[in-house]
Amino acid sequence: MKKVIGITGGVGSGKSEVLNILKKEYGAGLIEADRVAHELMEPGAESYEAVVKKFGNSILTDEGTIDRAALGAIVFRDKEKLAVLNSLTHPNVEREILCRMDRMESDPDIRLIVYEAALLTGAEFEQRFDQLWYVFAREDLRFQRLKEGRGYSDEKTASMIKSQPGEESFRKAATHIIDNSGSLNETKQQIVEILGAEV
C-alpha cells in the first residue's frame, strides 16, 4: 500500500508550495478538495444540477457554467446557505476522492498519494491517512501572501483568515507540522526530515 498523506493549513499558509515539492521530488499524486469540488460543479458533472436548482440561474455565466464568485457571494456570509451547499456537494466530492485514491493506488507512476483540504477531520476517508501534515505560516505572512498573490482587500483577507479554525485545532489533529514561514529550501528540508530523500 502506498503512503497516504493528508495536508491541511490555513488560507495563505503555502500549501501549494508543499504540494509542488511532493509532486516534483517524490512522485506524488495530488488530490485537491477544492479542485475536485469545482470539477464536479461543471455542466454535466455530479453536483451541477442540484446546485443550480437550489441557488437559481443567477449563479450561472452566459455560457451556462457556475460562476463561483457569484455563488461564493451568496454563501460566504450565510452559514445556513453554506451548509446547504456543502450538503449538496460534499457526498459527491468524498466519493470522487475515494475513487481517485483507488486509481492512484494502482498507478505504477505514482509513489505517494497526497490529499489537500482546508479541513481534513471528519471525512470518511480520513482513516486512510498514514500522516496528517499541518502547513503553518505566521499570520502576517499569510495576510501578505493573500493580498499580493490574490489581490484581496485588507477587509476580505482579514475576514478569510478569521473565518478559519484556530491554529490550535490544526496542531492537535496533525501528526507533523511544516513551518512554511521561511525559505523554500527550509520547507524542503522539513519534508526530507519526515519522508527521507525519497519515498
Digit-coded pLDDT (tens) for 49-102: 999 999 999 999 999 999 998 998 999 878 899 999 999 999 999 899 999 999
Whether the Cβ atoms of residue 173 and residue 134 lie closer than 8 Å to each other: yes
Summarised one tens digit per residue, pLDDT across range 135-171 is: 988 877 777 777 776 777 777 767 776 766 667 778 8
Query: How far is residue 99's CA from residue 91's CA, in Å, rounded to a whole number?
Result: 13
Q: Indicate if the pLDDT at residue 115 is higher than 80.
A: yes
Mean pLDDT of the chain: 88
Q: Which residues have C-beta within 8 Å of that of residue 145, sequence separation ≥ 6?
A: 12, 14, 137
Strands (E), 62-165: 112-116, 131-136
Query: How far is residue 192's CA from residue 36's CA, in Å, rounded to a whole number?
Result: 28
Whether the Cβ atoms of residue 130 and residue 7 lie closer than 8 Å to each other: no
Q: Report which of 100, 93, 94, 110 is spatially closest to residue 3, judged by C-alpha positions.
A: 110
What pLDDT was estimated at residue 121? Answer: 60
